[in-house]
Amino acid sequence: MRTMELRLNVNGSAQRWTIAPGELLLDVLRRQGYFGVKRGCEKGECGACTVLVNGRAVNSCLMFAAQAEGAHVLTIEGLAEGEKLHPIQEAFLDHGAVQCGFCTPGMALSAKALLDRCPHPTDAQVREAMAGNLCRCTGYLKPVEAVLAAASGMAKPPRKRRAKAEVTR
Ligand code: FES
Ligand code: FES
Protein backbone atom coordinates (compact mmCIF):
# COMPACT_ATOMS: atom_id res chain seq x y z
CA MET A 1 0.00 0.00 0.00
CA ARG A 2 1.28 3.46 -0.86
CA THR A 3 1.79 5.72 2.09
CA MET A 4 2.76 9.31 2.64
CA GLU A 5 3.73 11.50 5.53
CA LEU A 6 1.30 14.03 6.92
CA ARG A 7 2.53 16.88 9.06
CA LEU A 8 0.00 19.00 10.86
CA ASN A 9 -0.81 20.55 14.20
CA VAL A 10 -3.65 19.03 16.19
CA ASN A 11 -4.91 20.82 19.28
CA GLY A 12 -1.64 22.69 19.62
CA SER A 13 0.66 19.69 19.18
CA ALA A 14 2.79 19.09 16.11
CA GLN A 15 2.08 15.69 14.60
CA ARG A 16 3.76 13.57 11.96
CA TRP A 17 1.67 10.64 10.79
CA THR A 18 1.92 8.03 8.09
CA ILE A 19 -1.28 7.88 6.07
CA ALA A 20 -2.57 6.46 2.82
CA PRO A 21 -3.05 9.15 0.17
CA GLY A 22 -6.80 8.57 -0.09
CA GLU A 23 -7.59 8.42 3.61
CA LEU A 24 -10.18 10.75 5.00
CA LEU A 25 -9.32 13.19 7.77
CA LEU A 26 -12.12 11.63 9.84
CA ASP A 27 -10.54 8.18 9.66
CA VAL A 28 -7.04 9.39 10.42
CA LEU A 29 -8.09 11.48 13.40
CA ARG A 30 -10.07 8.63 14.92
CA ARG A 31 -7.21 6.20 14.32
CA GLN A 32 -4.98 8.59 16.22
CA GLY A 33 -7.40 8.52 19.16
CA TYR A 34 -9.46 11.65 18.62
CA PHE A 35 -12.74 9.88 19.27
CA GLY A 36 -14.56 13.15 19.81
CA VAL A 37 -14.61 13.31 16.00
CA LYS A 38 -17.78 11.34 15.38
CA ARG A 39 -18.54 9.07 12.45
CA GLY A 40 -22.11 9.78 11.42
CA CYS A 41 -23.45 9.83 7.87
CA GLU A 42 -20.04 9.98 6.15
CA LYS A 43 -21.75 12.03 3.45
CA GLY A 44 -21.36 15.57 4.69
CA GLU A 45 -24.93 15.77 5.91
CA CYS A 46 -24.90 15.40 9.71
CA GLY A 47 -21.94 17.47 10.93
CA ALA A 48 -21.00 14.92 13.59
CA CYS A 49 -17.46 14.79 12.20
CA THR A 50 -16.94 18.57 12.34
CA VAL A 51 -13.47 19.80 13.18
CA LEU A 52 -11.84 23.19 12.71
CA VAL A 53 -9.14 23.40 10.06
CA ASN A 54 -7.30 26.70 10.27
CA GLY A 55 -10.27 28.04 12.19
CA ARG A 56 -12.90 26.98 9.69
CA ALA A 57 -15.51 24.34 10.48
CA VAL A 58 -15.25 21.43 8.05
CA ASN A 59 -16.78 18.01 7.72
CA SER A 60 -13.80 15.74 8.20
CA CYS A 61 -15.63 12.97 6.34
CA LEU A 62 -15.42 15.06 3.17
CA MET A 63 -11.77 16.02 3.43
CA PHE A 64 -8.73 13.97 2.57
CA ALA A 65 -6.27 13.89 5.43
CA ALA A 66 -3.58 14.88 2.95
CA GLN A 67 -5.39 18.19 2.44
CA ALA A 68 -4.62 19.03 6.07
CA GLU A 69 -0.87 19.12 5.40
CA GLY A 70 0.56 22.02 7.41
CA ALA A 71 -2.85 22.93 8.86
CA HIS A 72 -3.91 23.67 12.40
CA VAL A 73 -6.70 21.28 13.33
CA LEU A 74 -8.88 21.65 16.39
CA THR A 75 -10.97 18.75 17.67
CA ILE A 76 -13.23 18.79 20.69
CA GLU A 77 -10.42 17.29 22.75
CA GLY A 78 -8.55 20.58 22.32
CA LEU A 79 -11.36 22.95 23.20
CA ALA A 80 -10.99 22.87 26.97
CA GLU A 81 -7.84 24.23 28.59
CA GLY A 82 -6.76 21.45 30.90
CA GLU A 83 -9.48 21.17 33.53
CA LYS A 84 -11.11 24.40 32.45
CA LEU A 85 -13.96 23.95 30.03
CA HIS A 86 -14.40 26.39 27.17
CA PRO A 87 -17.28 28.85 27.75
CA ILE A 88 -19.20 27.14 24.95
CA GLN A 89 -18.94 23.81 26.77
CA GLU A 90 -19.96 25.48 30.02
CA ALA A 91 -22.97 27.02 28.35
CA PHE A 92 -24.01 23.69 26.79
CA LEU A 93 -23.99 22.16 30.26
CA ASP A 94 -25.76 25.09 31.90
CA HIS A 95 -28.50 25.10 29.28
CA GLY A 96 -29.07 21.35 29.18
CA ALA A 97 -27.98 21.32 25.55
CA VAL A 98 -26.42 17.85 25.76
CA GLN A 99 -28.57 14.73 25.54
CA CYS A 100 -26.73 11.65 24.21
CA GLY A 101 -23.85 13.91 23.26
CA PHE A 102 -23.17 12.44 19.84
CA CYS A 103 -23.70 15.71 17.99
CA THR A 104 -22.23 17.88 20.75
CA PRO A 105 -18.56 17.97 19.66
CA GLY A 106 -19.53 19.06 16.18
CA MET A 107 -21.99 21.62 17.47
CA ALA A 108 -19.48 23.06 19.92
CA LEU A 109 -16.84 23.39 17.23
CA SER A 110 -19.24 25.00 14.75
CA ALA A 111 -20.13 27.43 17.53
CA LYS A 112 -16.47 28.17 18.19
CA ALA A 113 -15.82 28.91 14.53
CA LEU A 114 -18.77 31.29 14.59
CA LEU A 115 -17.84 33.09 17.81
CA ASP A 116 -14.23 33.47 16.70
CA ARG A 117 -15.30 35.40 13.63
CA CYS A 118 -18.48 36.94 15.06
CA PRO A 119 -18.29 37.36 18.87
CA HIS A 120 -21.80 38.75 19.21
CA PRO A 121 -23.98 36.84 16.76
CA THR A 122 -27.71 37.16 16.34
CA ASP A 123 -30.04 34.25 16.89
CA ALA A 124 -30.27 33.85 13.11
CA GLN A 125 -26.50 33.79 12.71
CA VAL A 126 -26.18 31.07 15.34
CA ARG A 127 -28.87 29.00 13.66
CA GLU A 128 -27.20 29.43 10.30
CA ALA A 129 -23.76 28.50 11.64
CA MET A 130 -25.13 25.32 13.23
CA ALA A 131 -27.50 24.37 10.43
CA GLY A 132 -25.09 21.67 9.31
CA ASN A 133 -25.09 19.94 12.69
CA LEU A 134 -27.96 17.50 13.00
CA CYS A 135 -29.08 16.19 16.38
CA ARG A 136 -30.64 12.74 16.40
CA CYS A 137 -32.06 13.55 19.83
CA THR A 138 -33.76 16.55 18.18
CA GLY A 139 -32.21 19.07 20.55
CA TYR A 140 -31.90 22.33 18.61
CA LEU A 141 -33.30 25.13 20.72
CA LYS A 142 -31.06 24.65 23.74
CA PRO A 143 -27.80 24.57 21.80
CA VAL A 144 -28.75 27.86 20.15
CA GLU A 145 -29.56 29.34 23.56
CA ALA A 146 -26.25 28.01 24.88
CA VAL A 147 -24.22 29.59 22.11
CA LEU A 148 -25.97 32.93 22.57
CA ALA A 149 -25.30 32.71 26.31
CA ALA A 150 -21.64 31.88 25.74
CA ALA A 151 -21.41 34.82 23.37
CA SER A 152 -22.84 37.23 25.90
CA GLY A 153 -20.58 35.96 28.66
CA MET A 154 -23.48 34.49 30.61
CA ALA A 155 -21.89 31.10 31.13
CA LYS A 156 -21.29 30.42 34.79
CA PRO A 157 -17.74 30.19 36.23
CA PRO A 158 -15.69 27.30 34.87
CA ARG A 159 -16.12 23.91 36.44
CA LYS A 160 -14.13 20.71 36.16
CA ARG A 161 -14.19 18.89 32.90
CA ARG A 162 -16.99 16.39 32.48
CA ALA A 163 -16.19 13.37 30.40
CA LYS A 164 -19.61 13.05 28.76
CA ALA A 165 -19.67 16.63 27.55
CA GLU A 166 -16.36 16.20 25.86
CA VAL A 167 -16.16 12.69 24.49
CA THR A 168 -18.76 10.05 23.82
CA ARG A 169 -17.67 7.12 21.70
FE1 FES B 1 -19.37 13.80 8.29
FE2 FES B 1 -21.90 13.19 8.77
S3 FES B 1 -20.11 12.06 9.31
S4 FES B 1 -21.12 15.03 7.93
FE1 FES C 1 -27.97 13.19 20.85
FE2 FES C 1 -27.60 15.49 19.60
S3 FES C 1 -27.67 15.13 21.76
S4 FES C 1 -27.51 13.53 18.78
Q: Does residue 110 or residue 162 have the better pLDDT? A: 110
Question: Cα-atom radius of gyration of the chain, to the nearest Å?
Answer: 15
Per-residue confidence (pLDDT) for residue 51, from 0 to 100: 99
Q: Which ligand is located closest to the Cα atom of residue 46?
A: 1
Task: Give the distance (Å) from ligand 2 centre to CA of residue 166.
Answer: 13
Per-residue confidence (pLDDT) for residue 142, from 0 to 100: 97
Check whether 40 has a pLDDT greater than 60. yes
Task: Give the distance (Å) from ligand 1 centre to CA of residue 106.
Answer: 9
**H-helix or E-strand containing 93?**
helix 87-94
Task: Give the distance (Å) from ligand 2 centre to CA of residue 104.
Answer: 7
Per-residue confidence (pLDDT) for residue 114, from 0 to 100: 98
How far is Cα 61 from Cα 26, in angstroms, rounded to an integer? Answer: 5
Per-residue confidence (pLDDT) for residue 108, from 0 to 100: 98
Ligand 2 atom closest to the CA of 101, numbered from 1: 3
What is the band of 167 on the pLDDT scale with cuts at 50, 70, 90? very low
For the 4-78 domain, the top CATH level (class) is alpha beta
Per-residue confidence (pLDDT) for residue 158, from 0 to 100: 58
How far is Cα 111 from Cα 105, in angstroms, rounded to an integer? Answer: 10
- Domain 87-154 in the same topology as domain 4-78: no
Ligand 1 atom closest to the CA of 47, numbered from 1: 4
Domain boundaries, the chain: 4-78, 87-154
Check whether 17 has a pLDDT greater than 90. yes
CB contact at 8 A, 133 and 47: yes
Residue nearest to atom 4 of ligand 1 (CA): 44
Per-residue confidence (pLDDT) for residue 165, from 0 to 100: 45
Q: Is 77 helix (H, G, I), strand (E, B) or coil?
A: helix
Pocket of ligand 2 (CB under 6 A): 98-104, 135-137, 139
Per-residue confidence (pLDDT) for residue 160, from 0 to 100: 59
Fold of 87-154: DNA polymerase; domain 1 (1.10.150)
- Mutating to test ligand 1, I would choose from 41, 133, 134 the residue with most ligand atoms within 8 A of its C-beta, which is 41
Distances (CA, A) of 31 to 40, 47, 120, 147, 155: 16, 19, 36, 30, 33
| pLDDT tens for each residue of 112-156 | 999 999 999 999 999 999 999 999 999 899 999 999 999 998 655
Give the number of other Cβ atoms within 10 Å of residue 159's Cβ. 13
Check whether 164 has a pLDDT greater than 90. no
How far is Cα 92 from Cα 23, in angstroms, rounded to an integer? Answer: 32
Pocket of ligand 1 (CB under 6 A): 39-42, 44-49, 59, 61
